[in-house]
Amino acid sequence: MDTDPIDKSNSKRYPPVTGIGRDEHVGMVREIFATIPKRYDLLNHLLSLRRDLAWRRFAVRRMSFFNTFRFLDVATGTADLAIEAARLNPAIQVTGIDFVREMLEPGRQKITDRGLAGRIRLLQADAMTLPFPEGSFDAVGIAFGIRNMPDRLRALREMRRVLVPGGRLFVLEMTFPRNRFWQGFFNLYLNRLLPALARLLSEKPAAYHYLADSILHFPGPRAFMSLMEKAGFPNPERHSLTFGITALYIGRRPQD
Ligand SMILES: C[S@@+](CC[C@H](N)C(=O)[O-])C[C@H]1O[C@@H](n2cnc3c(N)ncnc32)[C@H](O)[C@@H]1O
């Protein structure tokens, strides 16, 4: 029996995230991100009408550095959040981690091109077991990464562990808007426009079905904030961005 959940052809779909186990989900995520890095930035900017850049900047502007002067970008992909954090905070050192080597390669190139190689390092690592001692960073960020992690509680607890007491976590994630009008529009966008554009521009359009599916199944604000509380971030903040299609969640690791 063929147990590989991943469609190797460009025309077939990935299985819905609700119908698969955690290991299968992680395997699928690894495969998807290993196959799309070449066009990832272009599609990201195009499909969000470049709002993704503004969303990352919005998060970075809220960060503060006061102890280690270090920032960790989890699921850094092509390193956009890491680069934005380094650009806006000249006094900090930045580390980006991602478990897909292929995503890190264009990120490394961008870092070198922008003259930031001395301040940003990228490592291949899994967000479930971060290779850093407790209390290593003043701020930790994760942009559009957590919905790809089936064990979100574990990911949140790991990010809390590596924060200094008083340090803050910044989670950017796309969500399904609450407003009825935008829901209809976003539905059309996710299920029609995005796959059509992906078919035109991506070598792996099927990956964009997964993107739509993973956004539709990401927990709503209340559920996600209670998960943050459970992970040890009391009273998290939430900022709704661009008609609610993206949210920034901020959690603070309390002083011990
Ligand atoms: C949608 S991309 C986001 C990339 C980047 N943060 C950005 O803002 O464009 C999601 C990334 O999460 C990474 N990822 C998913 N699960 C991971 C895990 N358990 N550990 C590390 N990286 C992970 C994927 O490899 C992929 O690069």
Residue pair 254/209 in contact (Cβ under 8 Å)? The answer is no
Q: What is the mean pLDDT of residues 66-85?
A: 98
208 lines ligand 1 (CB under 6 A): no
* Domain residue ranges of the chain, discontinuous segments joined by +: 51-176+218-252
Q: What is the mean pLDDT of residues 112-127?
A: 98
The Cα-based distances of 178 to 33, 35, 115, 175, 229 in angstroms read 29, 32, 41, 9, 22
As a whole number of angstroms, the distance between CA 78 and CA 179 comes to 32
pLDDT band with cut points at 50, 70 and 90 for residue 21? confident
148 lines ligand 1 (CB under 6 A): yes
Give me the pLDDT at residue 7, please: 39
| Confidence check: pLDDT of 5 > 70 | no
| 79 Cα–ligand 1 center, Å | 10
Tell me: the pLDDT tens digits for 81-109?
999 999 999 999 999 999 999 999 999 99
170 lines ligand 1 (CB under 6 A): no
| 103 Cα–ligand 1 center, Å | 8
75 lines ligand 1 (CB under 6 A): yes
pTM listed for this prediction:
0.90
| 145 Cα–ligand 1 center, Å | 4
145 lines ligand 1 (CB under 6 A): yes
105 lines ligand 1 (CB under 6 A): no
Identify the residue whose C-alpha is closest to ligand 1 atom 4.
77
Could you tell me where the beta strands, DSSP code E, fall in 9-119? 70-74, 93-98
CATH number of 51-176+218-252: 3.40.50.150
Write a three-state SS string for 181-236: HHHHHHHHHHHHHHHHHHHHHCCCCHHHHHHHHHHHCCCCHHHHHHHHHHCCCCCC
Residues 6+ apart with CB under 8 A from 84: 53, 56, 57, 60
| 102 Cα–ligand 1 center, Å | 11
Residue pair 225/153 in contact (Cβ under 8 Å)? The answer is no
31 lines ligand 1 (CB under 6 A): no
149 lines ligand 1 (CB under 6 A): yes
Q: Which atom of ligand 1 is nearest to the CA of 142?
A: 6
As a whole number of angstroms, the distance between CA 195 and CA 154 comes to 31
Tell me: the pLDDT tens digits for 125-134?
999 999 999 9
248 lines ligand 1 (CB under 6 A): no
